[in-house]
Amino acid sequence: PAGRVPLMAGNWKMNLDHLQGTHLVQKLDWTLKDAKHDHAAVEVAVLPPFTDLRSVQTLVEGDQLELKYGAQDLSPHTSGAYTGDISGAFLAKLGCTYVAVGHSERRDGHGETDEVVAAKVKAAYAHGLTPILCCGEGLEVRREGGQVAHVVAQLRAALDGVTPEQAASVVIAYEPIWAIGTGEVATPDDAQEVCAAIRSLLAELYGADIADGVRVLYGGSVKANNVAAIMAQEDVDGALVGGASIDPAEFASICRYRD
C-alpha cells in the first residue's frame, strides 16, 4: 500500500489477565524475533485490557521490545468524578502509543454515539495518543448496500474538529459488524470498496497528501489464512485483529503475512 507502513493491531478485548498477557507478549516477541521480523516494515501493536497495561509496559521497556501497545478505550474527560473511567493521561503515562476509539462493541454495548466517539478522538489527541478510530456497518445496512454512506457518516461525525495535523496520524479501522467474531470475513473487494471510500473522504476533508499517508485497517475475523488476500488490496494498510490476536502463533503469522 503506497508507502504506508502496514499496522497489525491485536485487540484482546476482555481476554487475558496481566500474567497471561505478559506471557502472550513474550511469546509473540520470541516468535517474531525468530522470524527476524522487521518492525519498521510491518508495525505490530497489542491492545490489552487496562489492567494489563502496566505489566506490558514493564516488559516492553525492560526488554526493549519493538512492539507497540495501547488501550481499547479511553474517557473523553481528563480527570474528575467519572467512576470507572480511564483518562488518556493515564494511558500516556503508561507508554501507550494507540487507543481504540468507537469499537462497535463500545458503540453497541455502552451506547457510544458518534458525538461521544468524536469527544474520545479529541481526548486521545489531547494526551498524545494515536486513535485507532473504528467504524463499520451492521448486517441490515450491508444488505441494503448502504455501507459506504454509513461509514462516511460515522467518520464525518467522529472527525469533526480534528485538525489536518492530527488527521495525518489517525488510524482508521473499517470493521463491518457482521464480520466481527463471526468467522464471516468480508471479501477483499468488500474491504477495498469501503477502505477506498474512507480514503476519498479523508482527501475531501484534509487533502490528498494527508489521505495518502493515513493507514486504513480492515477488521473482522482476520486470520493467518485470509490476511494476505485482504492485504493485497490497495487501500487496506493493516488489520485490527480480535480473536486471532490472543493466539501468539496465529497473530505472529498474521504479522508475517508477506512470508
Q: Which alpha helices (H) appear in the chain, and where do they start and end?
A: 18-34, 53-62, 88-93, 104-109, 114-126, 139-143, 147-158, 164-167, 188-206, 208-213, 227-231, 248-255
User: Considering the rule CB under 6 A, would residue 243 count as an interface residue with ligand PEP?
Assistant: yes
The count of residues interacting with ligand PEP (CB under 6 A) is 14
Compute CA 42 distance to the chain's CA centroid, rounded to the nearest angstrom: 14
DSSP-based three-state secondary structure for 15:
coil
Cβ distance 76 to 117 under 8 Å?
Answer: no
Rounded Cα gap, residues 164 and 144, in angstroms: 33
CB of 185 to ligand PEP, least distance (A): 8
User: Considering the rule CB under 6 A, would residue 176 count as an interface residue with ligand PEP?
Assistant: no
- Shortest-Cβ-distance residue relative to ligand PEP: 242
| Active-site choice (37, 43, 103, 112) | 103
- Does the annotation count 39 as an active-site position? no
User: Considering the rule CB under 6 A, would residue 202 count as an interface residue with ligand PEP?
Assistant: no
Only segment of 77-85, 136-144, 194-202, 235-243 that touches ligand PEP (CB under 6 A):
235-243
Q: Of residues 8, 101, 162, 180, which one binds ligand PEP by CB under 6 A? A: 180
- Does the annotation count 175 as an active-site position? yes
**Nearer of residues 235 and 247 to ligand PEP, judged by Cβ:** 247
**Nearer of residues 210 and 236 to ligand PEP, judged by Cβ:** 236
Rounded Cα gap, residues 128 and 78, in angstroms: 12
Nearest CA to 87 among 55, 47, 123? 123
Feature table: binding site:
11-13, 181, 221, 242-243
What are the residues binding ligand PEP (CB under 6 A)? 11, 13, 175, 180-181, 219-222, 240-244
